[in-house]
Chain A
């Protein structure tokens, strides 16, 4: 275990003591203790910047399941370091903000901070794991902690619905991704991402390539809320605002982007990869920005804006993957990757601060509805200033950082038409057009966000609370992020060598990194070129569109806020529930004999099919040992009592005969010299007879059932068939073994039970030592069954009660 592993595990370990902190140190807000974790981790990751900028990477491995090639490998390069810093840095600010946002008197802080720490650890695990299986485990953990955080106010229906929606969609994608990872393993023979990249050559031409990338991208697209899976993100806004700022804008939703970039060296250069990501991203960008305009809820607006910005980064990553097609580090392609990395960072900063200011507005006024808000500029000047910085950066106004990355975005999408591959010269024209259009919409919703909230006349009587500026502690975090927006905007090259260049090198692994295209130099002024005119166009048209809002705000499309894809999801869920209830009702009749019929019939069909399919019926009577009189007598008694059973009309007699059958089987074990089995069978039989006798009290009067003869015949046929098949399979297995050299498993136990486990009773040594896990899990099943009996009988259900 290296420090790197501990860095991932510390949040989980700390989460364990949170309930104690909350319970025993009540006067201090628990958040102050939590604040230590991300702050320390942030400081821990900072020193990695210099060596990583020099091109170093770090890999620490701890074996987990070495026999399957699953190791807990922590890997740091530029790209994972950027995420680690974002997670811990923004994490610290969010925790600080939450201390003022959540009142320690009224809110259950334990739930909040335990889940938040769980998320932090899981997210660090996602970005630092090199092994895809470990990555998957952490990936699902982020989904689960996100769900728990969304449902933090679990007494609200909307919270529960939003949480379930996010869980359903992201975990479904996660499953698809797991399948994709399995296919990757089939293709490459390793679970390590870096080892896969080392042998990238064969992957793209492999027949499994397309299914693999579709499955993996399903995981990435659901997590990063890409069209049409974006519908969970707006509903996730039911979470407390610190959570929205942290998980649903700065970190977790970027996990999909992280994954796409991580796999770009492996899959990049294929047209499918290029088009799915770039096209999907572009569509998301447009859809998100359009939907954001229609939102009346501040956080809903920010949610759709996050969707749209994530789409933009995704689109850029798709475009940049073309560099790997050419195997050439030309600035024409690398600029897209540069813009993606840069915008990812910028988005985390300005969107984080915007969420926090939206949270402040909600906290201080009691509403987030833009139709009710207005005129807060003079009441909350600090909040207004920070919001203005964030919104201006998002809209792409110079000299803030959003302007710079927006310029690079324009540069990338206009360059993309000159690639000359993948039909980019024709269909590629869509990129600049749609990208520009979406930027206009982005400008409009930024205006809506700021002016509808802060401009206009202030009418105190519209608010339920007395509105005033937020406490200073609540303003620190958004102010810090706002400062980052300004500083990076003015001195963008602060990040160039330390963060952006190493990240680009990691995403475009395999290209010569000393090429000129990897030297990042971000400038505000490029001269009068196309990008500048596009920006001017965005501001001009955007302003016009916003000023004309009075005209189009009456349109019905503006007034409907629900996403057209949400009903699709809803009807899917109701359909699923209805369908599964239908199937359940058909098979769960509540009658034991029906279940027995299903099981036996299925068994019969599957065994007959298999035996015929492999032509496996062989009966070889050679080498069969002699049958003693004793065995003949036992079998005879067994057959007679079994045949007698169905004709017994008295219940007690039936139980006794059934017990007799069980004791006969015990005698068989004695005959075959298996004392342990015989003893177990005897005891089980005894207990069973007692149990039957008891159950007998609770059964209704035994009455002769009047059933159709045909029904009984089918039952007889079924049981006869099962018995015959079992016998035939046993005989065939025996015969098959004759012709082949098999050594029984028991040989190993006979040889080793005394030496390895110190016991001379082999059966018992197998139970407690060689296969102890089986034993303990069987007892677990038994225990659960016992508890279920208690639950069923003590908490009796009435007729018609649903489970």
Chain B
């Protein structure tokens, strides 16, 4: 990889910041229903954190650390997103109808469960994987 760097400061900051961004992206994903965030933004931010790793370290090292073929994640995410749509059909509603309800658990209190989260998981995976695939492929081109 041509863009390997030896900037010590950059390397050390990345080691911490990349995982902060990753954590924040997961927070953003779950915040999505009621606050700014969601699958699209969360996915992009996840991609950003991984890209930061790629920018800082050797591609081979990152490939060892994250042995994931992002290409497979694209159809996986799409299948999840398209698949949750069939839930609506099962209940004789239009395709992609989302359901939600509120539950109460002791100690935790009231919380909400929504099928939209499942759908969002699909979007999250699809977006993150697409962004990564495009950039990593172009970067890896000799």
Interface on A for B, CB 8 Å cutoff?
675-676, 679-680, 683-684, 686-687, 690-691, 694-695, 697-698, 757-761, 763-765, 767-769, 772-773, 775-776, 779-780, 782-783, 785-787, 789-790, 793-794
Query: Which chain A residues lie closer than 8 Å to B61 at the CB level?
Result: none
Q: Decide yes or no: A782 and B126 within 8 Å by CB, A761-B33, A776-B78 being known contacts.
A: yes
Q: Contact: A767 with B112, CB < 8 Å?
A: no
B residues 7-41 in Cβ contact with A at 8 Å: 28, 32-41
Q: Contact: B116 with A686, CB < 8 Å?
A: no
Query: Which chain A residues lie closer than 8 Å to B47 at the CB level?
Result: 687
Q: Decide yes or no: A687 and B119 within 8 Å by CB, A764-B33, A790-B137 being known contacts.
A: no
Q: Contact: B41 with A676, CB < 8 Å?
A: yes
Q: Contact: B2 with A697, CB < 8 Å?
A: yes
Query: Which chain A residues lie closer than 8 Å to B138 at the CB level?
Result: 691, 694-695, 698, 789, 793
Q: Contact: B119 with A783, CB < 8 Å?
A: no
Q: Contact: B123 with A783, CB < 8 Å?
A: no
Query: Which chain A residues lie closer than 8 Å to B35 at the CB level?
Result: 760-761
Query: Which chain B residues lie closer than 8 Å to A686 at the CB level?
Result: 48
Q: Decide yes or no: A787 and B34 within 8 Å by CB, A691-B134, A768-B120, A776-B81 being known contacts.
A: no
Can you list 6 A-B pairs with a CB-CB distance of less than 8 A? A768-B38, A768-B98, A776-B96, A783-B75, A783-B78, A786-B131
- Checking A698, A764, A779, A790 against B38 with a beta-carbon cut-off of 8 angstroms, the contacting residue is A764
Query: Which chain B residues lie closer than 8 Å to A697 at the CB level?
Result: 2-3
Q: Contact: A785 with B33, CB < 8 Å?
A: no
Q: Contact: A694 with B78, CB < 8 Å?
A: no
19 new A-B contacts, CB < 8 A, other than A767-B38, A772-B98, A789-B137, are A683-B41, A683-B45, A683-B48, A687-B51, A698-B138, A758-B114, A761-B38, A763-B38, A768-B32, A768-B33, A768-B116, A768-B119, A768-B123, A773-B96, A783-B77, A783-B126, A786-B131, A789-B133, A789-B138
Q: Contact: B123 with A779, CB < 8 Å?
A: yes
State how many angstroms separate the Cβ of A760 from the closest Cβ of chain B.
Answer: 4
Q: Decide yes or no: A782 and B51 within 8 Å by CB, A683-B45, A776-B82, A793-B137 being known contacts.
A: no
Query: Which chain A residues lie closer than 8 Å to B3 at the CB level?
Result: 694, 697
B residues 125-142 in Cβ contact with A at 8 Å: 126-127, 129-131, 133-135, 137-139, 141
Q: Contact: B119 with A772, CB < 8 Å?
A: yes
Bound: A757/B38 CA distance, A: 14
Q: Contact: A785 with B74, CB < 8 Å?
A: no
Q: Which of A683, A686, A687, A698 has the most CB of B within 10 A?
A: A683
Give me the 5 closest cross-chain CB pairs, A-B, nearest first.
A758-B100, A786-B130, A683-B44, A759-B33, A779-B126
Q: Decide yes or no: A772 and B85 within 8 Å by CB, A761-B33, A790-B137 being known contacts.
A: yes
Task: Give the nearest-CB partner of A691 in chain B.
Answer: B135
Q: Which of B71, B101, B131 has the most CB of A within 10 A?
A: B131
Bound: A759/B126 CA distance, A: 22
Query: Which chain B residues lie closer than 8 Å to A775 at the CB level?
Result: 40, 81, 123
Bound: A762/B66 CA distance, A: 35
Query: Which chain B residues lie closer than 8 Å to A786 at the CB level?
Result: 71, 74, 129-131, 133-134, 137
> At the interface, yes or no: B95 with Cβ under 8 Å from chain A?
yes
Q: Contact: B77 with A779, CB < 8 Å?
A: yes
Bound: A775/B2 CA distance, A: 36
Q: Contact: B48 with A687, CB < 8 Å?
A: yes
Bound: A599/B31 CA distance, A: 39
Bound: A783/B138 CA distance, A: 15
Cβ proximity bits B58-87 to A, threshold 8 Å, 1 near / 0 not: 000000000000010011011001100100
Task: Give the nearest-CB partner of A780 in chain B.
Answer: B78
Bound: A780/B77 CA distance, A: 9
Q: Contact: A759 with B34, CB < 8 Å?
A: yes
Task: Give the nearest-CB partner of A779 in chain B.
Answer: B126
State how many angstroms separate the Cβ of A76 from the closest Cβ of chain B.
Answer: 27
State how many angstroms separate the Cβ of A621 from the closest Cβ of chain B.
Answer: 33
B residues 94-117 in Cβ contact with A at 8 Å: 95-96, 98, 100-102, 112, 114, 116
Task: Give the nearest-CB partner of A791 in chain B.
Answer: B137
Q: Which of B82, B100, B135 has the most CB of A within 10 A?
A: B135
Q: Contact: A779 with B71, CB < 8 Å?
A: no
Q: Contact: A783 with B130, CB < 8 Å?
A: yes
State how many angstroms separate the Cβ of B132 from the closest Cβ of chain A.
Answer: 8
Query: Which chain A residues lie closer than 8 Å to B40 at the CB level?
Result: 680, 767, 775
State how many angstroms separate the Cβ of B101 from the closest Cβ of chain A.
Answer: 8
Q: Contact: A785 with B130, CB < 8 Å?
A: yes
Query: Which chain A residues lie closer than 8 Å to B102 at the CB level?
Result: 758
State how many angstroms separate the Cβ of B136 from the closest Cβ of chain A.
Answer: 9
Bound: A627/B18 CA distance, A: 39
Bound: A782/B3 CA distance, A: 26
Q: Contact: B133 with A790, CB < 8 Å?
A: yes
Query: Which chain B residues lie closer than 8 Å to A764 at the CB level?
Result: 32-33, 36-38
Q: Contact: B33 with A758, CB < 8 Å?
A: yes
Task: Give the nearest-CB partner of A765 in chain B.
Answer: B33
Query: Which chain B residues lie closer than 8 Å to A684 at the CB level?
Result: 44
Bound: A775/B95 CA distance, A: 14
- Checking B48, B77, B100, B141 against A757 with a beta-carbon cut-off of 8 angstroms, the contacting residue is B100
Task: Give the nearest-CB partner of A767 in chain B.
Answer: B38
Task: Give the nearest-CB partner of A678 in chain B.
Answer: B36
Query: Which chain A residues lie closer than 8 Å to B44 at the CB level?
Result: 680, 683-684, 687
State how many angstroms separate the Cβ of B7 from the closest Cβ of chain A.
Answer: 15
Bound: A787/B74 CA distance, A: 9
State how many angstroms separate the Cβ of B113 from the closest Cβ of chain A.
Answer: 9
Q: Decide yes or no: A759 and B116 within 8 Å by CB, A768-B39, A786-B130 being known contacts.
A: yes
Bound: A655/B34 CA distance, A: 35
Task: Give the nearest-CB partner of A686 in chain B.
Answer: B48
State how many angstroms separate the Cβ of A494 from the closest Cβ of chain B.
Answer: 46
Bound: A760/B112 CA distance, A: 12
State how many angstroms separate the Cβ of A121 from the closest Cβ of chain B.
Answer: 21
- Checking A676, A680, A769, A790 against B116 with a beta-carbon cut-off of 8 angstroms, the contacting residue is A769
Q: Contact: A676 with B137, CB < 8 Å?
A: no
Q: Contact: B123 with A776, CB < 8 Å?
A: yes
- Checking B41, B78, B112, B131 against A680 with a beta-carbon cut-off of 8 angstroms, the contacting residue is B41
State how many angstroms separate the Cβ of A394 from the closest Cβ of chain B.
Answer: 50
Q: Contact: B41 with A679, CB < 8 Å?
A: yes
State how many angstroms separate the Cβ of B29 from the closest Cβ of chain A.
Answer: 11
Query: Which chain A residues lie closer than 8 Å to B41 at the CB level?
Result: 676, 679-680, 683
State how many angstroms separate the Cβ of B56 from the closest Cβ of chain A.
Answer: 12
Bound: A683/B52 CA distance, A: 13
Bound: A320/B120 CA distance, A: 61
Query: Which chain A residues lie closer than 8 Å to B127 at the CB level?
Result: 779, 782
Q: Contact: B135 with A785, CB < 8 Å?
A: no
Query: Which chain A residues lie closer than 8 Å to B120 at the CB level?
Result: 768
- Checking A676, A698, A758, A769 against B112 with a beta-carbon cut-off of 8 angstroms, the contacting residue is A758
Q: Contact: B131 with A687, CB < 8 Å?
A: yes
Bound: A523/B51 CA distance, A: 86
Q: Contact: B48 with A782, CB < 8 Å?
A: no
Q: Which of A764, A769, A779, A794 has the most CB of B within 10 A?
A: A779
State how many angstroms separate the Cβ of B14 from the closest Cβ of chain A.
Answer: 14
State how many angstroms separate the Cβ of A509 from the closest Cβ of chain B.
Answer: 35
State how many angstroms separate the Cβ of B24 from the closest Cβ of chain A.
Answer: 11
Q: Contact: B78 with A690, CB < 8 Å?
A: no
Bound: A247/B81 CA distance, A: 40
Bound: A17/B35 CA distance, A: 47
Bound: A684/B130 CA distance, A: 13
Bound: A683/B37 CA distance, A: 12
Task: Give the nearest-CB partner of B120 in chain A.
Answer: A768
Bound: A773/B78 CA distance, A: 12
Bound: A794/B51 CA distance, A: 20
